[in-house]
Amino acid sequence: MNFLLPLTGSFAQPAAENPTVAMIEAAYQHHGLDWRYINVEVAPDDLGDAVRGARAMGWRGFNCSIPHKVAVIEYLDGLGASAEIIGAVNTIVRDGDRLIGENTDGRGFVAALREVVDPKDKSIVLFGAGGAARAVAVEMALAGAARITVVNRSADRGKAVVDVLKNRTATQAVYAPWQGTFTVPKDTDIVIHATSVGLYPDVNAIPDIDTDSLTPDMVVADGIHNPPLTRLLKAAQERGCKTVDGLGMLVQQGVIGVKYWTGVDVDPQVMREALLILRL
């Protein structure tokens, strides 16, 4: 008998509202993996100690969420290819004695989106320029998107994402200012909302987008996972659009993370059902 169980987990602040532990442990149990996932609240000043502790205790890997996705990089031994381009990490993988930073946010979004539409050769309008938006933009570009328009209120942050796309990927990228209500261009194939507007507890909020400019041939995706059916997605469905919710992205990035740690391809439906039970 072996009572030394492989450990994984998450470092964040705040951590109490992070449902990742529920879906990861459901996957472990479903696939007969006697592993554990520990949700830990870690203050920014304690991040270095937390990483050193995980290293010393032989953790197989861990997630980093807000506010640690950039700060954790200095405590790691290397970065995966897309994480290096994005400049942020959300998944840390043990490789022998080394801790390698990966970013599964964008890849999870692409995987969820592909269940409805392949981003290859598509024209995309992306709202937001924060860490999540940056990850989504890079992975969409690496997946072959023809053109990405980054819409953001801060021109500096929006143009910074565009510069990364232009300098590190083959996609066409432009910045569009978000001043007042934004009208989505008619030639758009995919609309992606990647800001925090609409996140619990502000569930009645909706990004300042002219929903009348959405057309049935557009796919609308929202990165908000709590609640999964945001006001933006409801409006898009009323306009006849196909939609992708943030719960799908959360599940798919978890699938990728567990694969990194355990080598097992877990069932995403098991993870999604574990989250649905929580009634987020």
Q: Which residues are marked as active site?
A: 69
Cα Rg, the chain, nearest whole Å: 19
N- to C-terminal Cα distance for the chain?
Answer: 38
**92: exposed, middle or buried (Cβ count in 10 Å: 0-12, 13-18, 19+):** buried
Task: For residue 163, list its beta bridge partners.
Answer: none
Distances (CA, A) of 86 to 69, 79, 219: 11, 10, 24
Distance CA(220)–CA(242), nearest Å, equals 6
Contacts of residue 79, Cβ cutoff 8 Å, sequence gap at least 6: 73, 89, 100, 101, 102
Distance CA(247)–CA(15), nearest Å, equals 18
105 alpha carbon, distance to own chain's centre? 3
Query: Which residue shows structure tokens 């992708």?
Result: 244
Widest Cα–Cα separation across the chain: 63
